[in-house]
Amino acid sequence: MIAKIVSFVVLLLLIHRGSSSDGGQCVYQGFSTANLTLDGLAAVTPGGLLALTNATFQGKAHAFHPSPVHFLNASSSAAARSFSTCFVFAIVSAYDALSDHGLAFVVAPTTNFSASKAGQYLGLLAGINGTASHRVLAVELDTIMNPEFLDINSNHVGVDANSMISEQRHAAGYYDDASGGAWQDLQLNGRKPMQVWIDYDGLAGQLNVTLAPVKVPKPNKPLLSVSVDPSTFMADTMYVGFSSATGVVLTHHYVLGWSFSLDGPAPPLDFTKLPVLPRVGPKPRSKVLDVLLPLATALLVATVLAAVLSTVWWRRRYAEVREDWEDEFGPHRFSYKDLFHATNGFKDKNLLGVGGFGRVYKGVLPASSLEIAVKRVSHDSRQGVKEFVAEVVSIGRLRHRNLVQLLGYCRRQGGKW
């Protein structure tokens, strides 16, 4: 029985932790099981991402924690209670250097934004300034420069107090503590997750905004530090959440995780539990392929080159000279290749002697196993080629027991056999 009571109390505490709006906290490590108030284009993907926008043009989206938060503090000298929030977002465009409008963290008296506009208004207001009955505080992450709102560039962070003209704005980036506080630029639409911290001191009326890449600890120096009069936006109960809008460029705005706390720091997010962004573009090639592909290409080129050189070498090695007039002398010609192999490449061990106009080698014809003697006529012989062939053919017709039968000849560039 005691165990059941303890379990029931723990369950109540978990419910309080997940949805409390008065002195409690809410933590979303992904949104698969989140109970959010969504409208417009906003949806939770099967993988647990809060997708504020999709491929729809000129649309708007809102996602709010379902329960209102009591911001006014009757028991304190502060006009409003302090709050802290952090979230991980990503802006994923279909194009490398261009994206649509951004997104904003919102504190508003209602979740009904039906009168607001899409495009550069981010789904926040219906005009440049809000109304007294619909006062909002927003931290915008803007990727389009709108001169009518006095934007400084197309990659900035701004604090909006019931107006699209920011109280203060700054180019996106952070002060890197690991580099001695050096400034580091960030690209909001860089398709990579980034983390935002927003801390409001109700006693001082000070709002700090800090931005950094995911897994980089919160920088000590905030990106923006703005004095915000609570009366410009604060009501007793307010809703917290996100707003976004699209224009004419295909862009997805995602929130991967979110935590919020009143009167204390927002709980840190566990990056290992956050959902993964969808891949954009072709699948990255394997690093193994990056190494093996050049090697395989080089090997293939080397193999082809070796084959070509080998073919050229073998052809040149056995190259012969043939002319049309040789046909009249009949089948008295041998291939140089046969004579080369018959004499083992005209090696000295096959040398029989040196006679007039050249050397004589012994050999065996590969096809018939016939023993032969091959005379390699020297290059400086002055005898004409045609006369030489005619003489060989004539002698080949002679038959005598004291004469070695002349079987034929071979012609190769630079010599005769």
- Give the global pTM: 0.65
Burial string for 115-127 (b: 16+ CB within 10 Å, else e) reads ebbbbbbbbbbee
According to the model, what pLDDT value does residue 376 have?
Answer: 79
pLDDT, tens digit only, all 417 positions of the chain? 444 443 433 333 333 333 334 446 899 999 999 999 999 999 999 999 999 999 889 999 999 999 999 888 766 555 788 999 999 999 998 887 778 789 999 999 999 999 999 999 999 999 999 888 888 999 999 999 999 999 999 999 999 999 999 999 999 999 999 999 999 999 999 999 999 999 999 889 999 999 999 989 999 999 999 998 887 777 888 999 999 999 888 899 999 999 999 999 999 999 999 999 997 665 555 666 677 778 888 888 888 888 887 776 666 655 666 666 565 555 567 778 888 888 888 888 888 888 666 788 888 888 788 888 888 776 555 455 556 666 666 666 666 665 566 777 777 765 555
Annotation: binding site for ATP: 375
| Cα–Cα dist 79/204, whole Å | 9
Cβ-based neighbours of 238, under 8 Å, separated by 6 or more:
68, 69, 71, 107, 108, 109
**Distance, C-alpha 90 to centroid of its chain:** 16
Half-sphere exposure of 298 (CA within 13 A, CB side): 6
Q: What is the pLDDT of residue 344?
A: 86
Question: What are the two backbone dihedrals, phi and then psi, of residue 60, each rounded to the nearest 5 degrees?
Answer: -135, 160
**E-state strands within 214-283:** 224-227, 237-245, 251-262
- Predicted pLDDT of residue 16: 36
3-state secondary structure of 338: helix
Residues making up the binding site: 375
Residue 5's pLDDT is 40
CB under 8 Å to 17, separation ≥6 — which residues?
Answer: 24, 25, 26, 27
Q: What is the C-alpha to C-alpha distance for residues 52 and 275, in angstroms, rounded to an integer? A: 15
